[in-house]
Structure 1
Amino acid sequence: MSHATPKVSGKLFGLFCLASYLLSLSYGSTFLLALLIGARGGNEHDAGTVISAAMLSTFVAVLGCGHLADLLGAARSIGVFALLLVAASLGFAMTSGFGYGLLFFGLLLGLGWGVFYTLGPIIIANLVVPAQRAKYFALLSGSMMSGIGSGPLFGRAASALDLPLASAFYLAALASLVGALLFWRLAPRLTPSQTITAKITWRATTQVLSSQALLPIIMVGLGGCVFGGLSSFQTSYAAVRALDYSWFFVGFMGAAISSRMLIAGYVIKRDPLRASCLLSGVMLASVMLFAFGVNGGLSYLLAAVMLGVGYGLTYSVINGLAANEAPDGTTSQALLLFSLAYFIGVFGFPLLAGKLIVEQGMASLLLTLLGVALANWLITIGRLLGRRFTAKNPRPTPTVRRSSGTNPS
C-alpha cells in the first residue's frame, strides 16, 4: 500500500475546501469594519475593540469544541456554528452606529470562526496520513486565505457599483449559510474511522508545551499579530497613502493561491526548519517594505505579494511542524493550541493596533509589527543554529557497566 495515498478522495476534499472558502468570507469581511465603523462615526480603536471581542469567544470555542465534536461530530459542529457567522455578518451590516450591538456580533463571529478554524485541520489530520499533512494543510489554508482575501474585495466591488458597504456583509452571510449546509451534508463522509480526540487537558497541554511543538505554536501567534495588524487596518493604511486597499487584498490573495498551487508541493518536501526560516524572512521583508518602501501602487502590490507568500506558506509549514513534533497521542491537542495562539494574535492584536493608530499614528503600528516579525524570524534562526550545534556535538552514549556479581544491586 502506498504511504503517499490520502484516505480522503480528491472530490470530497475539493468540496471541503469550497465550504471552507465560503465560511472564510465572513472573517474576511471584518477587514472592512474599520471603514464601516468610520463611516458611522467611529475610529480604528473602535474597530479594534470589536475585532478583539472575538478573541474572548474563540477561547470558549477552542476549549469547548472537543466536547462539541463528541456530541455532534466535528463536521456537523462546524455546520451548526457556521450559522453564527451568518448572524455576525448580518449583524455588522444591519447595526447602526457603534455600541454593544457590534461587540455582541464580534463575540458571535469568534464562536463560529473558532469552531471552524479549530476543527477543520483536525478533521484533515485524522483523514490524511502524516506524510501528506503539510500538503493538505497548505491546500486547506489556501482555500481559507482565498475566502479571507475575497471578503474585502467584495466591499471594493460594492463601492465601485455604488452599493452600500454593508452589501459585502450580506454577501458574506449568504456564503456562510451555503458553507454551513455543505459541511452538514458532508459530515458522514468526513468522519474518520477513529475517534477524534479534540479536548484540551492539562496533561496534554504540558506535554505539547514541553515539546518542540511549542515553537511553531509561538510562531503562529506572532504571525497572526502581523497578519491581523496589517489586514484589519489596511483600509486606513491605504487612505493615509492615497492608495486603493483592494490592491493589497488582490496581491495577498493571488500570492497565497498561486504559491500553494506552484510552490507548496516543492516547499513541503524540503527541510521544514530551513523553509520556515526563509519564508519568515520574506514576511519580515514585506513588513519592512510596508513601513519604509511603499510609495506607489507597484510597491504596494509587491509588499502584499511578499506577505502572501511569506505568511501564507510559513503558516502551512509550521502547522505541519506543530502536528508532527507533538508527542504521540497529542496531535489534536497540539493543533488546538496552535489555533488558540493564532486567535490570540489575529484577534487580540488589533485592539493594540487600533489604539496605536489613533494615539500615535500608522508609523507606530508599522514599527511595532516590524519588531514582531523580527522576533518570529529569530526563532527560526535559533532553531537552525541549535540543530547545527546538536549535530556537531552529539550527546555521548552512556556506557553500561556490567556487574561482576559482587556489587550490590
Structure 2
Amino acid sequence: MSTAPPQVPSKLFGLFCLASYLLSLSYGSTFLLSLLIGSRGGNEHDAGSVISAAMLSTFAAVVVSGHLSDVLGAARSIALFGILLVAASLGFALTPGFGNLLLFFGLLLGLGWGVFYTLGPIIVASLVTPAQRAKYFALLSGSMMTGIGSGPLLGRAASALGYPVTAAFYLAALASLIGVLLFWRLDSQLKQAHTNSTAISRISWRATAQVLSSKALFPIIMVGLGGCVFGGLSSFQTSYAASRSLDYSLFFFGFMGAAISSRMLISSFVVKRDPFRASCLLSGLMMGSIMMFSFMVDSSFTYLLAAIMLGVGYGLTYSVINGLAANEAPSGTTAQALLLFSLSYFIGVFGFPLLAGKIIVEYGMATLLFTVLLIAALNWFITVGRLVWRKAIAKNLQQA
C-alpha cells in the first residue's frame, strides 16, 4: 500500500496562487501612498496614519474570518471581502487631498486584506498534510509577495510612461476584481480537494490561550516583529530612495525578485533543514541587510544588494516560521494558530508605519533605520534563545 502523501492538483493550486497574486496587488499599491499623499501636500506621517488605519479593521477581520469560513467557506469569504480591496484601491486613486476619507479606505483595505491573508494559509493547511505545509506555504507566500512587489513597480512603470501614480491604483483594482471572480469560482473545487480539513476555524478565548501557552507563541511574536521591519521599510521606501537620490523601484525589484525566487527555488531545501537553525541564520541575514541600508547604501548597486539580502532573509524566514506556527500549535488548533499568526503580522505591518512616519517627520530617516535595526535584532535574539534553550534541554536529558 502506498504511503505517499496526497498531491494537490497542480492546475487547482496554480489558479489559487494566481488569484492570490491578483488580490495582493491591492496591498502592494499602498507602498505608493507616501508618494501619492506627498504629491497632494501631505507627509510621511499622513501616509502612516492611512496605512495604520488598516490595523484597526484587521482585528475585526481576523476575529470574523474563522466564523465566515465555517459558514460560507474560506474561498467564498475571501471573494466577498476581496471586493473591499477593489473599493480601497479605487478610493485611494479617486479621493482628492489626504483627509479622513483616505482613512476610511484604509479601513476597507484592512478588512479585505485581513480576511484574505488569514484564510489563504488555512485553505493550504486543509489541502495538504502537515509535512507538506512549509513547502506549500512558501508557494502561496511567494505568489502573494509577487503581487505585493508588483504594486510599486506598476507605479514606477506608470511614471516612466507619463501617467500619474494613480494609474497603479486603478490597475490594482482591476487585478483584484479578477482575483475575486477566481476565488468565487474555485470555492467548490477547493472544498472537494480537502485532504486535511480543519473542522472549526473560528477563534475563541480558549483556543487563543492554548496557542499562546504553546511553543507556537515564538513564531507568532517573530512574524509581528518581521512585519514591523517589512512595513517600516517598504511603506517609506520612496522617501528613503529620494533622500539618497536613488530609484525606489530598485528596492522593490530586488526585494521582490529575491523573495520570490528564494521561496520558489530553494524553500523546498530550506524547509527540510532544522527550522530553528534556519530561522536564526535567515533572521541574521535580515538584520545584516538593515545595517546595509543604514550605513553602506551609497549607490544603485549597494541599494539593490541590500534589497536582495532583505528579500532572501525576510522571505525565507516567513516561510519557516509560518510552518512552525502551524506545526507547534496544540492538536486541533492549527487554524487558530494561523489566525493569531496573521493578527501578529498585521499589528506589525500596519501598526508600525504610524510610528515610522512620525519618526521620519520628527527625527529623520536615520532614526527610523536604527529603530528597525533594534526590532530585527530582537527578532534574531529570539531565534538564538530557542537554539540555546533546546541545546540545554538536550544536555540535561543526556545527563539524566
Same-fold call, TM > 0.5? Answer: yes
Which residue matches 1:403?
Answer: none
Cα–Cα, structure 1 residues 285 and 4, in superposed 2: closer, same or farther, change >3 Å? Answer: farther
Give the Å deviation of 1:377: 0.3
Tell me the secondary structure at the aligned position of residue 309 of structure 1: helix
Asked whether the 8 Å contact 2:216–2:329 carries over to 1, the reply is yes
Which amino acid is 1:109 matched to? L
The one-character-per-residue Cα deviations of 1:195-236 (angstroms, maximum 9, x if unpaired) are: 542211111111101110000000000000000000000000
Deviations 1:102-141 (A, max 9, x none): 0000000000000000000001001101100000000000
Partner of 1:245: 248
Partner of 1:215: 218
Would you say the 8 A contact 1:44–1:357 is kept in 2?
yes
| 1:306-364 CA distance string (max 9 Å, x none) | 11000000000000000000000000000000000000000000000000000000000
Residue 28 of structure 1 pairs with residue 31 of structure 2: no
User: Paired residue for 1:400?
Assistant: none
**Paired amino acid for 1:286:** S
Q: Write the distance in 1 (CA, Å) between the matches of 2:4 and 2:334.
A: 19
Q: Which residue of 2 aligns with 1:297?
A: 300
CA distance in 1, matches of 2:57, 2:206: 23
Question: Match of 1:394, SS?
Answer: helix
Structure 1 residue identity aligned to 2:257: G
Q: Which runs of 5+ in 2 are unaligned?
A: none
Contact 1:36 1:165 in 2 (8 A): yes
| Cα contact 2:232–2:372 (8 A) shared by 1 | yes
Match of 2:330 among 302, 320, 327: 327
Corresponding residue of 1:165: 165
CA deviation after TM superposition for structure 1 residue 68, in Å: 1.0
Contact 1:221–1:344 (8 Å) recurs in 2? yes
Is 1:11 the counterpart of 2:14? The answer is no
CA distance in 2, matches of 1:373, 1:345: 12
1:134 equivalent in structure 2: 134
Distance 2:3 2:326 in 1: 18
The match for 1:383 among 373, 381, 386 is 386
Cα distance in 1, alignment partners of residues 176 and 327 from structure 2: 31
Shift of 1:71: 2.0
Report deviation, 1:396.
8.2
Cα deviation 1:365-409 (Å, max 9, x = unaligned): 000000000000000000000000000002888xxxxxxxxxxxx
**2:353 maps to 1:350:** yes
Paired residue for 2:230?
227
Q: How far apart are the structure 2 equivalents of 1:360 and 1:228? A: 18
Q: Shift of residue 265 of structure 1?
A: 1.1
Say whether the 8 Å CA contact 1:4–1:129 is kept in structure 2: no
Q: Give the structure 1 partner of residue 309 of structure 2.
A: 306
Report what 1:179 is aligned to: 179
Task: Give 1:2 shift.
Answer: 5.2
| Structure 1: 5+ residue stretches without partners | 398-409
Per the normalisation by structure 2, the TM-score is 0.98
Q: After TM superposition, give the deviation of residue 6 of structure 1 in Å.
A: 3.9
**Larger-gyration structure (1/2):** 1
Per-residue displacement from partner, 1:230-256 (whole Å, max 9, x unpaired)?
000000000000000000000011101
Q: Check conservation: 2:356, 2:368, Cα contact below 8 A.
A: yes
* 1:112 alignment counterpart: 112
C-alpha contact 2:279 2:317 (8 A) present in aligned 1: yes
Mapped to 1, the partners of 2:363 and 2:336 lie a distance apart of 39
Quote the Cα distance in structure 1 between the aligned partners of 2:238 and 2:325. 33
Distance 1:123 1:291, change over 3 A: same
Counterpart residue identity of residue 335, structure 2: S
Looking at structure 1, the residues matched to 294 and 399 of structure 2 have their Cα atoms a distance apart, in angstroms, of 48
- Which residues of 2 match residues 145-156 of structure 1 at below 5 A? 145-156=145-156
Looking at structure 2, the residues matched to 31 and 393 of structure 1 have their Cα atoms a distance apart, in angstroms, of 49
| Paired residues of 1:3 and 1:131 also in contact (CA < 8 A) | no
Question: Does structure 2 retain, via aligned residues, the 8 Å contact 1:52–1:350?
Answer: yes
In structure 2, the residue matched to 1:405 is none
Distance in 1 separating the partners of 2:65 and 2:150 = 27
Query: Structure 1 residue 261: deviation in Å?
Result: 2.4
Residue 377 to residue 105, structure 1, CA distance change in 2 (3 Å): same
2:163 maps to a residue whose letter is L
Look up the match of 1:368: 371
Identity of aligned residues (%): 76
Q: Is the 8 A contact 1:21 1:147 kept in 2?
A: yes
Q: Give the aligned residue type for 2:269.
A: Y
